[in-house]
Chain A
């Protein structure tokens, strides 16, 4: 019921590797780590969700704020290795239309 956040910084790219669950308890911590990364112009922020086995609307909210911030600061947000269950929430809410989500969904249909 926790979330581990691991950030690796390269020159024009930050890779955020997440592991665990994103909910009302862990989302604020994620937002705190993720948002500052999106404020560097020209940077790509790649979020690896391979080990995120649970997420709800609080997680969607964090990624929406991050996306908004990338538009403001001319950076880029990419969600990769998303599990099928998590991807489903993006699909139901229509957010697949605006988010850059890696098409190779884990265990996807």
Chain B
């Protein structure tokens, strides 16, 4: 099996922890050598995933946790976001995602409909499972031309 480091964080399913997870993600991605732009993309994607989990999974009670797992590989970062608070109707959610189209009426615009669309747009690969709660697995690849990966070579260029 491919070697990787695994980091796990568990936070209460509350909006005030979205920023905490965002900062942690930024730290992990920075450690791995992701570019500034990619780190910003990761910050939005992870925040969207946590926001979804906070909104959908715990509508009825304020309790529950969200588990975030980071798989740190040589060439990529895999992030798993899991809530165990029940699942939302995935096919419903999927139908609802997409960018604004010119013929859409402004009155019909979904105020909360861009989350999954943004995750999909900003990450390289996204998988969603709703079998046990909702699990979002998203992957972003390191582009090797930006940072020298070779151990005996020090890259000074950005």
Residues of chain A lying within 8 A (CB to CB) of residue B110: 64
Those 7 A-B pairs whose CB atoms lie nearest each other, nearest first? A94-B100, A1-B19, A94-B99, A61-B111, A57-B114, A24-B15, A25-B15
Name the prevailing secondary structure of the A interface residues.
Answer: helix
Residue of A whose beta carbon sits closest to that of B50: A24
Name the prevailing secondary structure of the B interface residues.
Answer: helix
A68 B114 Cβ-Cβ under 8 A:
no
Residues of chain B lying within 8 A (CB to CB) of residue A97: 100, 102
A61 B107 Cβ-Cβ under 8 A:
no
Residue pairs across A and B with CB atoms within 8 Å: the count is 76
* Distance of A64 Cα from B154 Cα, bound (Å): 47
Residues of chain A lying within 8 A (CB to CB) of residue B101: 94
- Determine if A71 is an interface residue (Cβ-Cβ < 8 Å): yes
Residue of A whose beta carbon sits closest to that of B101: A94
A contacts, CB < 8 Å to B: 1, 21, 23-25, 28, 54, 56-58, 60-62, 64-65, 67-68, 71, 85, 89, 92-95, 97-98
Quick one: which of A24, A60, A68, A97 has the most chain B CB within 10 A?
A24
Contact of A23 among B18, B106, B117 (CB under 8 A): B18
0/1 interface trace, chain B 109-150, chain A, CB 8 Å (1 if under): 111101101100110000000000000000000000000000
Given A25-B19, A92-B118, A94-B99, residue A57 in contact with residue B112 (CB < 8 A): yes
* Distance of A89 Cα from B107 Cα, bound (Å): 20
How many residues on the B side are at the interface (Cβ–Cβ under 8 A)?
32
Residues of chain B lying within 8 A (CB to CB) of residue A54: 22, 43
B102 A21 Cβ-Cβ under 8 A:
no
Minimum CB–CB distance from B111 to chain A (whole Å) comes to 4
0/1 interface trace, chain B 39-57, chain A, CB 8 Å (1 if under): 0100110011011001100
Given A64-B109, A64-B111, residue A93 in contact with residue B117 (CB < 8 A): yes
Residues of chain B lying within 8 A (CB to CB) of residue A58: 51, 112
